[in-house]
A and B are shown apart, each in its own frame.
Chain A
Amino acid sequence: MNDIRFALRQLAKAPGFAVIAVLTLALCIGANSAIFSVIHAILLKPYPWPGSDRLAYVYNTYPKMGLPNAGDSIPDYLDRRGITGVADSALYTRVSLNLTGDAEPEMITGMRATPSLFSTLQSAAALGRVFNEDDAKPDAPATVVLSHALWKNRFASDPSIVGRAVRLNDRPVTVVGVMAEDFYFPSPRTQAWVPFAFTPAQRGDNERGTEYSQMIVRLKPGASMEGVQLELDLVQARNAERLPGSRDFWKTSGFDGRIAGFLEQNVQNVRGMLWLIQAGVAAALLIGCANVAGLLLARAVGREKELAIRTALGASRLRVVRMLLTESLVLFLAGGLLGLFVAIWSIDALQGVGLSTLPRGFGVRLDPSVFGFTLACAAAAGMVFGAMPAWSASRDNPSASLKEAGGRGSAGRRTQRLRAALVVAEIALAVMLVATAGLLIKSFDRLQRVDPGFVPAGMITAQVALPPARYDSPERIVAFHDAVVARLGSTSGILSAGATDSLPFSGLDSSGSYSSPDIVLPPGAPEPHAMIRSADPGYLRALRLTLLQGRWFGDTDTAATQPVVVVDRVLVDRYWKGQDPIGKRIQRGNGGKLAVVVGVVAKVKFRTLEESSDKEAIYFPLSQLPQPMLMFVARAQGDPAALAASVREAVRAVDPNQPVFDVRTMAQRMDDAAQPRRAPVILLSVFGGLAAILAMLGVYGVLAYSVAQRTSEFGVRMALGASRSDIAALVLKAGLLLVSLGIAAGLAGYLALSRLVQTLLYATPSTDPAMLASASVALGLVALGACLLPALRATRVEPLAALRQD
């Protein structure tokens, strides 16, 4: 207690020191807690379903066809459900549900799932019940399970909802249950689940290859992923035996079933980036601790005499250490407390830079256990960094310190060397962070300049999902499409309008096999497989795709005329290099009508700007291959966002019961797609800047302290004829030595880690010499800037006053 009171009094006597120390620690501890909360929420925290670490995806893979990751078909699911290592399993697929009734029609995100989903997740309903197997019989009455959020927002948490009917896709559907508030699957965006019923035909072998669903499994206790993988291989071998017709295709495409941990698979794209950021922030924490340790060291040296007197008066070394430790602990704890606020604020700020677009990035909040952990780390750092100067200060024998007639004691020199080493480390870490951040910025910038194959600016886009109950024939879909596009085309402010079933950066895209009498496959080559897209005549102009050859679709291409397709350059380069592609023939799958190639377009980036997939694409006229899921696209004369209402209006005029959703400009879509890359760039830049500031404070601290310690030396030098510039040069030289050592160490450290950084960069070498040089120069300037003030102060030393000190 006594120690704490004394510590507080000592800190109050040096408010500048206390404020800098506490702020430094608060920033570092806060940032660490915030980032670790993100890591925890995304990478480490189990899902809300019991035993979620035993959940895994099982999916199809065609590695030799450039399709490592496909969905599962119903017969695949039925085969794999029986694997002995699998305790339970479920098949699910996304459905759009058009919720109508008393209120405004609303598009809700639903999942069609086998009833076994809930047993696989070991989750029960909060109200009513989950599905049972009877609900999934083909002729069972329609049922739905609501998410807690939908129940609360749309049905005002009405407990009598269970057993009542709601209108989904224009059919009455009975609500059988409401899930608990903390339940979600697969993401909190899912608002309702409907049963996945299989018809006898869907169970048959003909459905293999129809892979629009996902499968999850729960492993039996004791079962391993490797074991299940072996069983999957076996199932596949047996199928190949049984189905000789598919055998060749399976062989050439490398087809098999794969298992991957549920969490692992979901976060694989962000894992590296997040850990890199965590490393950056941890480095910043280290820098901060080093700074505070430096400050504590300086104080301990300043108090050498006081400590010597205490020791001379009989205080044990332990007592002296304890006294100093108490002081540093008080500092670190105050920093930790303030850091709590920094952390809460940082997480808010992170949401602003797109945290929620990361997988599992919803629901990140400051985790008390995470904060506790960080605080404990800080306290431990406080002990270590506090003990260092305390030990160092108490080690000297008191008689030496007492005899010291001013000037610098040996302890002073030793701690000064330690501080210098810390500052070198700080500069090194800052160089590493700044170089990494600079390269990420450069890479991000390069990426933003990549040509997506269309002109993103000035486009508004909107989605509709036509319910099969009302749009039960291709003619109806085409009629709806034609009416909406006609309306859009005559809306003022719209230059051109079109529609497609798979828009770039919308998440909608589909692929399938195709064949052609004009393609000669080399023996052993996989069967052709392409992205399959439907588009209308206006699509080319609305997106400003690049037509390389031939023509795009016109109004004359209808269901009744010659089937046509437009292919992309990738397909031509793959199979018809040096030939004229126009007039070649293509068919979807292995049967069906042959379509004639009428045009060639340039490749379009679909999911991200960095995607380098060399998968070919085939465009079908929407009139010949209509799809119920439609994306309307309009190119605006002015601000595309201003057209959102016109687009909704055009759809409402054609079908008032048809909800429009996902109305966004193309720029917004691409922005969202860039978020997972932008967020880390912003974060690392912030931490790089923070590290630079901390390094600057560190350099300043060391030099300012050293100038204070050397005042009388400077006085002597001046008495001997040193000019003021000689003195300034002396200080700057000491600073320059620290800075250049730090930069050299930083570059060495960076080069050691550059391979890791490389994995995060797009078309930018991680050892880009210009960037490394700029980072070094920038930090060098910042750090030398920090030397200027102490150097200036040194020149102000009055030789007489300095000499009088003794």
Chain B
Amino acid sequence: MPQPLLKLDNVTKVFLTDEVETHALSGIHLQIEKGEYVAIAGPSGCGKSTLLSILGLLDTPTDGTYVLNERPVQGLTPAERARIRNREIGFIFQSFNLIGDLTVYENVELPLTYRGMPSSDRKQRVEEALEKVGMGHRAKHVPSQLSGGQQQRVAVARALAGQPAVLLADEPTGNLDSKNGDAVMELLQSLHRTGSTILMVTHDTRFARHADRTVHLFDGRVVEESVESKE
């Protein structure tokens, strides 16, 4: 039986602030197969972002194990974690998080630069990624010259450019109006159709329906998993 791409076992995350313990995640079991499109839904504060951060190696679990691509990630050095983030994971943030001083092209190029890829290869990858999201004609613009929807499409291109194993998107439509939001959702769906593994946090059940499967969180626990029926 093939191993899942991501596998969380009994993962717990406790935040300790001012001697108050917050159990953000409690005993999470989660498996995601290659090529899946999974939505994580739940009310604000239920632990969605925390879960995504752990999956994206931006944070470590307090307890439990996490295996990514058949590799346990506990005890890796910060440099190794940075390397995995760079190669295996593509992030899409709610607030786009493009770097304002860099052009669209340079933003998309950034993860490839950290990989030490030669510039001719980078150029090809960046152009491909920008074409995929329909932003090829804006390569020389800076983010402040783009609309929110356009900025998020560039952010998606940046996540795609490194051809990561999984795309992690935390409320990618949260800062967009519904028209731009729909466009970004369509983009993710088309990526899914061409084989990308996507994990998307949303509190909007309307968007959750695009996914193959939705994991519902409540108060740091998985309360329900639902599989979308495909028409």
**A-to-B contact residues, CB < 8 Å:** 405-408, 410, 413, 712-713, 715-724, 726, 799-800, 803, 806
Top 4 nearest A-B pairs (CB, nearest first) are A721-B86, A721-B114, A720-B111, A723-B82
B59 interfacial contact with A, CB 8 Å? yes
Q: Are B100 and A407 closer than 8 Å at their CB atoms?
A: yes
B69 interfacial contact with A, CB 8 Å? no
**B-to-A contact residues, CB < 8 Å:** 53, 56, 58-59, 78-79, 82-83, 85-87, 91, 93-95, 97, 99-101, 110-111, 114-115, 144, 158, 162, 175
Q: Are A723 and B111 closer than 8 Å at their CB atoms?
A: no
- Could you pull out 27 A-B pairs where Cβ atoms are within 8 angstroms? A405-B175, A407-B100, A410-B144, A413-B100, A413-B101, A712-B97, A713-B100, A716-B93, A717-B99, A717-B114, A718-B85, A719-B85, A719-B91, A719-B97, A720-B111, A720-B114, A720-B158, A721-B82, A721-B111, A721-B114, A721-B115, A722-B82, A723-B114, A724-B82, A800-B53, A800-B58, A806-B95
Contacts of B83 on A, CB cut-off 8 Å?
721, 723
Complex alpha-carbon distance, A11 and B158, angstroms: 43
Please give the distance in Å from A614's CB to the nearest CB on chain B.
65
Please give the distance in Å from B143's CB to the nearest CB on chain A.
9
Q: Are A718 and B99 closer than 8 Å at their CB atoms?
A: no
Most buried by B among A406, A721, A806: A721
Complex alpha-carbon distance, A712 and B97, angstroms: 8
Q: Are B79 and A723 closer than 8 Å at their CB atoms?
A: yes
Please give the distance in Å from A186's CB to the nearest CB on chain B.
67
**CB-nearest residue of chain B relative to A405?**
B95
Q: Are A717 and B78 closer than 8 Å at their CB atoms?
A: no
Contacts of B99 on A, CB cut-off 8 Å?
713, 716-717
Please give the distance in Å from A412's CB to the nearest CB on chain B.
10
Complex alpha-carbon distance, A405 and B100, angstroms: 12
Contacts of B85 on A, CB cut-off 8 Å?
718-721
Contacts of B58 on A, CB cut-off 8 Å?
719, 799-800, 803
Question: Can you add 11 more A-B contacts, CB < 8 Å, to A406-B95, A713-B100?
Answer: A716-B97, A720-B85, A720-B91, A720-B110, A721-B85, A721-B111, A721-B115, A723-B79, A724-B79, A800-B58, A806-B94
Contacts of A800 on B, CB cut-off 8 Å?
53, 58-59
Contacts of A721 on B, CB cut-off 8 Å?
82-83, 85-87, 111, 114-115, 162
Q: Are B59 and A723 closer than 8 Å at their CB atoms?
A: no
Contacts of B95 on A, CB cut-off 8 Å?
405-406, 806
Q: Are A720 and B86 closer than 8 Å at their CB atoms?
A: yes
Complex alpha-carbon distance, A715 and B58, angstroms: 10
Contacts of A720 on B, CB cut-off 8 Å?
85-86, 91, 110-111, 114, 158
Contacts of A724 on B, CB cut-off 8 Å?
78-79, 82
Q: Are B110 and A719 closer than 8 Å at their CB atoms?
A: no
Complex alpha-carbon distance, A717 and B111, angstroms: 8
Assuming the contacts A722-B82, A724-B78, asked whether A717 and B56 have C-beta atoms less than 8 A apart, the reply is: no
Q: Are A719 and B56 closer than 8 Å at their CB atoms?
A: yes
Complex alpha-carbon distance, A722 and B110, angstroms: 9
Q: Classify the interface of chain A: helix, strand, loop or mixed.
A: helix
Complex alpha-carbon distance, A713 and B101, angstroms: 10
Complex alpha-carbon distance, A715 and B87, angstroms: 17
Contacts of A806 on B, CB cut-off 8 Å?
94-95, 97
Please give the distance in Å from B96's CB to the nearest CB on chain A.
9
Complex alpha-carbon distance, A576 and B85, angstroms: 90
Please give the distance in Å from B24's CB to the nearest CB on chain A.
12
Contacts of A405 on B, CB cut-off 8 Å?
95, 175
Complex alpha-carbon distance, A806 and B174, angstroms: 12
**CB-nearest residue of chain A relative to B78?**
A724
Please give the distance in Å from B148's CB to the nearest CB on chain A.
10
**CB-nearest residue of chain A relative to B175?**
A405
Assuming the contacts A716-B99, A719-B58, A719-B85, asked whether A726 and B53 have C-beta atoms less than 8 A apart, the reply is: no
Complex alpha-carbon distance, A800 and B78, angstroms: 13
Complex alpha-carbon distance, A716 and B102, angstroms: 13
Partner of A803, one of B79, B93, B110, B175: B93
Please give the distance in Å from A655's CB to the nearest CB on chain B.
87
Contacts of A712 on B, CB cut-off 8 Å?
97
Please give the distance in Å from B109's CB to the nearest CB on chain A.
10
Complex alpha-carbon distance, A407 and B100, angstroms: 8
Complex alpha-carbon distance, A724 and B80, angstroms: 11
Most buried by A among B53, B59, B87, B100: B100
Q: Are A723 and B78 closer than 8 Å at their CB atoms?
A: yes
**CB-nearest residue of chain A relative to B80?**
A723
Contacts of A719 on B, CB cut-off 8 Å?
56, 58, 85, 91, 97
Complex alpha-carbon distance, A8 and B124, angstroms: 57
**CB-nearest residue of chain B relative to A727?**
B82
Contacts of A718 on B, CB cut-off 8 Å?
82, 85
Contacts of B144 on A, CB cut-off 8 Å?
410
Contacts of B78 on A, CB cut-off 8 Å?
723-724
Contacts of A715 on B, CB cut-off 8 Å?
97
Contacts of B79 on A, CB cut-off 8 Å?
723-724
Q: Are A408 and B100 closer than 8 Å at their CB atoms?
A: yes
Complex alpha-carbon distance, A408 and B114, angstroms: 24
**CB-nearest residue of chain A relative to B83?**
A721
Please give the distance in Å from B7's CB to the nearest CB on chain A.
22
Please give the distance in Å from B176's CB to the nearest CB on chain A.
13
Most buried by A among B79, B83, B97, B114: B97
Complex alpha-carbon distance, A748 and B218, angstroms: 66
Complex alpha-carbon distance, A716 and B143, angstroms: 15
Q: Are B97 and A722 closer than 8 Å at their CB atoms?
A: no
Please give the distance in Å from B50's CB to the nearest CB on chain A.
9
Complex alpha-carbon distance, A718 and B78, angstroms: 10
Complex alpha-carbon distance, A407 and B221, angstroms: 33
Complex alpha-carbon distance, A726 and B82, angstroms: 11
Please give the distance in Å from B219's CB to the nearest CB on chain A.
20
**CB-nearest residue of chain B relative to A804?**
B49
Contacts of A410 on B, CB cut-off 8 Å?
144
Please give the distance in Å from B113's CB to the nearest CB on chain A.
9
Contacts of A406 on B, CB cut-off 8 Å?
95
Contacts of A722 on B, CB cut-off 8 Å?
82, 86, 114
**CB-nearest residue of chain B relative to A722?**
B114
Contacts of B53 on A, CB cut-off 8 Å?
800
Complex alpha-carbon distance, A667 and B209, angstroms: 96
Please give the distance in Å from B56's CB to the nearest CB on chain A.
7
Contacts of B86 on A, CB cut-off 8 Å?
720-722
Complex alpha-carbon distance, A410 and B145, angstroms: 12
Contacts of B158 on A, CB cut-off 8 Å?
720
**CB-nearest residue of chain A relative to B54?**
A800
Contacts of B101 on A, CB cut-off 8 Å?
413
Please give the distance in Å from B182's CB to the nearest CB on chain A.
22
Please give the distance in Å from A305's CB to the nearest CB on chain B.
17
Contacts of B93 on A, CB cut-off 8 Å?
716, 803
Complex alpha-carbon distance, A413 and B86, angstroms: 28
Complex alpha-carbon distance, A766 and B86, angstroms: 53
Complex alpha-carbon distance, A210 and B114, angstroms: 88
Most buried by B among A716, A718, A726, A800: A716
Complex alpha-carbon distance, A724 and B115, angstroms: 14
Complex alpha-carbon distance, A716 and B115, angstroms: 15
Contacts of A413 on B, CB cut-off 8 Å?
100-101
Complex alpha-carbon distance, A752 and B56, angstroms: 57
Complex alpha-carbon distance, A803 and B56, angstroms: 13
Please give the distance in Å from A105's CB to the nearest CB on chain B.
83
**CB-nearest residue of chain A relative to B94?**
A806
Assuming the contacts A723-B78, A800-B53, A803-B58, asked whether A717 and B100 have C-beta atoms less than 8 A apart, the reply is: no
Complex alpha-carbon distance, A715 and B97, angstroms: 9
Contacts of A717 on B, CB cut-off 8 Å?
99, 110, 114
Please give the distance in Å from A410's CB to the nearest CB on chain B.
8
Please give the distance in Å from A126's CB to the nearest CB on chain B.
74
Most buried by B among A719, A800, A803: A719
Complex alpha-carbon distance, A530 and B69, angstroms: 99
Complex alpha-carbon distance, A406 and B83, angstroms: 28
Complex alpha-carbon distance, A719 and B97, angstroms: 11
**CB-nearest residue of chain B relative to A406?**
B95
Complex alpha-carbon distance, A721 and B86, angstroms: 4
